[in-house]
Amino acid sequence: MTAAPAVEAVELVKHFGQTRAVDGVSFVVPTGTVLGLLGPNGAGKTTLVRMLTTLSVPTGGTGRVAGYDILREPTQVRRSMGLTGQAATVDEILTGRENLKLIGSLYGLPKSHVREATERLFDRFDLTEAADRMAKTYSGGMRRRLDLAVSLLAAPPILFLDEPTTGLDPQSRSGLWAVLRELVDEGTTLVLTTQYLEEADHLADEIVVVDHGKVIAAGTPTQLKDQAGQASVVVTLTNAADLDDAARLMRSHSPEVHVERGSRRLTARAAGLGDMTRIAAVFESSGIELDDLGLARPSLDDVFLHLTGHRAEAEAADGTTEQTPEGVTP
Ligand X SMILES: Nc1ncnc2c1ncn2[C@@H]1O[C@H](COP(=O)(O)OP(=O)(O)O)[C@@H](O)[C@H]1O
- Three-state SS string over 13-69 comes to EEEECCEEEEEEEEEEECCCCEEEEECCCCCCHHHHHHHHCCCCCCCEEEEEECCEE
Distance, first Cα to last Cα, the chain: 40
Minimum CB–partner distance for residue 221 and ligand X (Å): 19
CA angle 182, 183, 186 (to 5 degrees): 90
From CA 300, how far away is CA 321, in angstroms rounded?
23
Minimum CB–partner distance for residue 136 and ligand X (Å): 26
Minimum CB–partner distance for residue 213 and ligand X (Å): 7
- Using DSSP bridges, classify how beta strands 81-84 and 158-162 pair: parallel, antiparallel or unpaired: parallel
Cβ-based nearer residue to ligand X, 6 or 48: 48
Instruction: State the Cα torsion 88-45-56-187 to the nearest 10°.
Output: -70
Encode 132-168: b = buried (16+ Cβ within 10 Å), e = exposed.
eeebeebebbbbbbbbbbbbbbbebbbbbbbbbbbbb
Minimum CB–partner distance for residue 8 and ligand X (Å): 19
Minimum CB–partner distance for residue 152 and Mg ion (Å): 21
Cβ-based nearer residue to ligand X, 128 or 329: 329
**Which of 39-47, 99-107, 152-160, 175-183 is the region at the interface with Mg ion (rule: CB under 5 A)?**
39-47
Q: Does 84 bind Mg ion (CB under 5 A)?
A: no
From CA 271, how far away is CA 76, in angstroms rounded?
47
Residues 41-70, mask of contacts with Mg ion (x by CB under 5 A): ----xx------------------------
Q: Which does 107 bind (CB under 5 to 8 A by kind): Mg ion, ligand X, none?
A: none
**Which of 13-21, 37-45, 96-104, 139-147 is the region at the interface with Mg ion (rule: CB under 5 A)?**
37-45
Residues interacting with ligand X, by CB under 6 A? 16, 19, 21, 39, 41-47, 328-330
- Using DSSP bridges, classify how beta strands 214-219 and 60-65 pair: parallel, antiparallel or unpaired: unpaired
From CA 181, how far away is CA 322, in angstroms rounded?
22
SS3 assignment, position 206: strand
64: nearest Cα among 28, 117, 105? 28
Cβ-based nearer residue to Mg ion, 185 or 326: 326
From CA 325, how far away is CA 328, in angstroms rounded?
9
Cβ-based nearer residue to ligand X, 40 or 82: 40
Contact 317, 35 (CB under 8 A): no
Minimum CB–partner distance for residue 213 and Mg ion (Å): 12
Q: Which does 44 bind (CB under 5 to 8 A by kind): ligand X, Mg ion, none?
A: ligand X
Cβ-based nearer residue to ligand X, 273 or 328: 328
Q: Which does 39 bind (CB under 5 to 8 A by kind): ligand X, Mg ion, none?
A: ligand X
Minimum CB–partner distance for residue 199 and ligand X (Å): 14
Contact 177, 192 (CB under 8 A): no
Cβ-based nearer residue to ligand X, 45 or 173: 45
Cβ-based nearer residue to ligand X, 39 or 167: 39
Q: Which does 330 bind (CB under 5 to 8 A by kind): ligand X, Mg ion, none?
A: ligand X
From CA 199, how far away is CA 216, in angstroms rounded?
18
Minimum CB–partner distance for residue 65 and ligand X (Å): 18
Cβ-based nearer residue to Mg ion, 263 or 323: 323
Chain contacts with Mg ion (rule: CB under 5 A) = 45-46
